[in-house]
């Protein structure tokens, strides 16, 4: 009789920083009912991976669930596989952290389930060829990746029904190819279709494997799946059919298959992830071209035939496509390097005390490595400000813990020059015990990160508005095409503004200390939509820079000679901070270097993100003015004011502007349109504050203004 082996696994994860109600819902609608149905079918073996975020949550909220899993492990039905504890993208974190994160997960599994894990869930199935060597250090025997990885290496589909061996510097690793066909069948098609597909794979030898390892949230959390999978009994029917056909379908764990069937050969895989991830990582223009080719092939029924030739992009290119993701990644590397340096240094407080303090910092670092906020696709969370905030929060907490270890209670103010973002240009970092300020002299002399350490809060955790491939659907709908409108959430709700208005794109990053010279007639509406005339060449241009130190004060002088409407202008801005103070002082000086009078309209753009644009506990205050709408998503002009405040009662601090000469304050929100598994979403990213002045300068005359930014609780 022809037979086939069925290897089945699920991976479950929720991001660091996700809302508690999301975890509650996932547990009730997916994690618990899935295990309950599997428990009722003890002959169906399977594997699970839960991220450390979920393990911690289970222990705190549902410890009985861990006991439930123990029962299935003891029964021999369930194999528990490991990963990086806080679900990092393994290739992009330092090797020391790769080993540490996996070891942390291994310890948990061995302690709670009694067995050392043999397999590893590779986050987002992101593979790079150097992995076998480092994974071997953690005792890992096998991983699962998509069949697309193997197709990209030139293997034909009919050879992807078992496992292979790869190596790096002689360190071996077994690799299973996950079936795309099964990923699309389970749980979305009728159970009978899966059985027919399994039957097509059966052979006389019976050693071919149908391999599925995929997101557990497909079973109940994804839109519409709870009703189908559990209420209408899909999973129960599928498992029953497999049991009814157990004479030719043999259910095995991955480890059982490894022990009973030899590998099919040696393979070397290129850098890859699942097909969709690789497409998402492409630059938008390239992704559009690829999308058109794919759609054309699908129309002619040729896509599956040629899909193996579409390797797509490379995950690390998310750090090129989105500089905001790159900043988080390089901040993470900076914190990790600092931790390694401290671990190697001598301790003045005793080894045990040192290890305890650095362990606390390490756990904060590891949480800041959670992958979800570092990329964007249908599932990636880069567009979700609260997930980016969680990354920064943990990385800043790790920094604070290390500072306390290294410095004690000493107050300090320091300056560092380094190529922080690895773009070939130096950045400058001003820091004291309360603040971090990161500057990009090569990009407008802008301030791109401002950390308030007492609250572990990056105030410039922002995201620019960019064109995405899926925006074409919304543009089509806005032109009356109708396609795609049914899945829009908040966009539809704000339809009175027009869909086109939600798709504005920024020509520069939404950060701070960006210098603008506006043309006469510019209005807030056009400026807020990035549809206006810029008369200067300062906003994104390189500045000369000079670090400064005076006693307990550090500063940075930024200077550029450019043009405003054809008139040569020198712009200087000096930023200073002092030890023990959460105050940033900014002194601007503009000088007309031309031979005739300069008439200019100057503004300095600041972007701050307090995470919620329409929350009652986050709002503007403007002295002498009563705002009809004071939320951070409001838009307006306040004329001739010397102050403005952004208040965050949720976190318990405020950010105040204090000017030594009146300005007109423009304010408006930056909101992005992104796609998730639930449809299209409109997301608040930051609040823009633009103090601006109209200037008349004679030749060789300078104009000055002092801006003080005060952060206080």
Q: 426: which 2 tokens? A: 């130096």
Question: How distant, in Å, are the alpha carbons of 77, 236, 295, 297, 306 from that of 302?
Answer: 40, 35, 10, 5, 6
* Number of Cβ within a 10 Å radius of residue 312: 20
Sheet holding 164-168, edge to edge: 119-121, 142-146, 171-178, 164-168
Q: What is the CA radius of gyration of the chain?
A: 28
215 catalytically annotated: yes
Strands (E), 333-491: 413-418, 427-432, 435-440, 446-452, 457-458
Give the Cα separation of 657 and 712 in Å (integer): 12
Give the Cα separation of 399 and 334 in Å (integer): 10
The CA dihedral of 98, 100, 106, 111, to the nearest 10 degrees, is -170
Q: 508: which 2 tokens? A: 């520069």
User: In terms of C-beta density within 10 A (0-12 exposed, 13-18 middle, 19 or more buried), how is residue 220 classed?
Assistant: buried
Tell whether the torsion through CA atoms of 504, 508, 512 and 518 is positive or negative.
negative
Residues 79, 87, 97, 124: which is the catalytic one? 124
Closest CA to 565 of 541, 539, 534, 524: 534
CA 61 and chain centroid, separation: 26
Give the Cα separation of 603 and 590 in Å (integer): 12
Give the Cα separation of 282 and 317 in Å (integer): 7
629 catalytically annotated: no
Three-state SS at 37: helix
Give the Cα separation of 502 and 672 in Å (integer): 7
Q: 323: which 2 tokens? A: 């500089």
Q: 628: which 2 tokens? A: 């009809």
Give the Cα separation of 159 and 176 in Å (integer): 11
Give the Cα separation of 21 and 16 in Å (integer): 13
Q: Quote the Cα angle for 499-505-509, to 5°.
A: 145
Residues 39, 167, 207, 215: which is the catalytic one? 215
Give the Cα separation of 541 and 278 in Å (integer): 32
Contact 243, 43 (CB under 8 A): yes
Residue recorded with tokens 């690829």: 290
Closest CA to 315 of 367, 382, 361, 261: 382
What positions carry a catalytic annotation? 124, 215
């Amino acid at each position: 009789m022809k037979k086939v082996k069925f290897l089945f696994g699920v991976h479950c994860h929720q991001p660091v920083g996700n809302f508690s109600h999301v975890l509650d819902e996932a547990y009730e609608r997916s994690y618990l009912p899935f295990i309950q149905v599997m428990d009722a079918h003890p002959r169906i073996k399977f594997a699970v991976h839960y991220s450390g975020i979920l393990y911690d949550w289970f222990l705190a909220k549902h410890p009985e669930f861990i006991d439930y899993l123990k029962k299935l492990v003891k029964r021999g039905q369930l194999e528990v596989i490991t990963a990086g504890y806080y679900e990092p993208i393994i290739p992009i974190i330092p090797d020391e952290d790769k080993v540490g994160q996996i070891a942390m997960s291994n310890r948990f599994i061995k302690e709670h389930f009694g067995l050392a894990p043999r397999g590893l869930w590779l986050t987002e199935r992101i593979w790079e060829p150097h992995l076998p060597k480092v994974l071997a250090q953690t005792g890992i025997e096998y991983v699962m990746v998509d069949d697309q990885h193997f197709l990209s290496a030139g293997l034909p589909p009919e050879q992807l029904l078992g496992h292979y061996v790869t190596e790096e510097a002689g360190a071996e690793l077994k690799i299973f190819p996950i079936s795309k066909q099964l990923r699309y069948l389970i749980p979305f098609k009728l159970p009978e279709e899966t059985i027919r597909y399994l039957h097509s794979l059966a052979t006389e030898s019976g050693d071919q494997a149908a391999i599925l390892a995929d997101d557990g949230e497909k079973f109940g959390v994804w839109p519409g799946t709870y009703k189908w999978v559990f209420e209408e009994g899909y999973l129960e029917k599928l498992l029953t059919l497999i049991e009814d056909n157990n004479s030719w379908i043999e259910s095995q764990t991955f480890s059982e298959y490894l022990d009973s069937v030899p590998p099919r050969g040696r393979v070397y895989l290129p850098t890859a992830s699942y097909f969709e991830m690789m497409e998402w990582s492409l630059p938008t223009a390239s992704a559009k071209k690829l999308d058109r080719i794919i759609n054309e092939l699908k129309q002619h029924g040729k896509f599956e035939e040629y899909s193996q030739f579409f390797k797509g992009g490379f995950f690390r290119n998310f750090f090129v496509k989105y500089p905001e993701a790159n900043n988080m990644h390089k901040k993470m590397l900076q914190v990790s390097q600092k931790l390694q340096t401290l671990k190697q240094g001598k301790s003045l407080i005793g080894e045990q005390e040192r290890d305890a303090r650095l362990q606390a910092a390490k756990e904060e670092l590891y949480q800041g490595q959670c992958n979800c906020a570092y990329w964007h696709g249908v599932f990636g969370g880069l567009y979700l400000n609260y997930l980016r905030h969680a990354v920064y929060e943990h990385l800043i907490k790790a920094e604070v813990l290390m500072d306390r270890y290294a410095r004690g209670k000493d107050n300090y103010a320091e300056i560092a020059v380094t190529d922080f973002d690895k773009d070939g240009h130096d950045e400058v970092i001003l820091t004291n015990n309360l603040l971090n300020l990161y500057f990009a002299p090569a990009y407008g002399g802008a301030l791109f990160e401002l950390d308030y350490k007492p609250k572990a809060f990056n105030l410039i955790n922002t995201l620019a508005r960019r064109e995405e491939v899926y925006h074409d659907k919304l543009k089509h709908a806005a032109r009356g095409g109708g396609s795609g409108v049914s899945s829009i959430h908040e966009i539809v709700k704000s339809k009175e503004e027009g869909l086109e208005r939600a798709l504005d794109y920024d020509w520069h990053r939404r950060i701070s200390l960006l210098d603008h010279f506006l043309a006469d007639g510019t209005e807030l509406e056009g400026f807020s939509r990035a549809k206006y005339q810029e008369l200067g060449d300062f906003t994104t241009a390189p500045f000369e820079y000079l670090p400064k130190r005076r006693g307990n004060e550090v500063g940075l002088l930024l200077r550029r000679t450019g043009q405003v409407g054809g008139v040569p202008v020198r712009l200087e801005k000096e930023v200073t901070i002092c030890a023990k103070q959460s105050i940033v002082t900014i002194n601007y000086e503009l000088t007309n270097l031309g031979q005739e009078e300069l008439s200019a309209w100057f503004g300095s753009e600041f972007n701050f993100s307090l995470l919620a644009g329409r929350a009652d506990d986050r709002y503007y205050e403007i002295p002498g003015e009563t705002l009809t709408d004071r939320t951070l998503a409001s838009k307006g002009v306040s004329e001739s004011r010397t102050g403005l405040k952004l208040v965050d009662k949720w976190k318990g601090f405020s950010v105040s502007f204090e000017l030594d000469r009146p300005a007109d304050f423009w304010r408006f929100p930056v909101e992005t349109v992104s796609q998730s598994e639930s449809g299209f979403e409109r997301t608040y990213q930051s609040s823009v504050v633009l103090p601006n002045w109209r200037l008349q300068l004679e030749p060789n005359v300078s104009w000055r203004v002092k801006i003080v930014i005060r952060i206080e609780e």
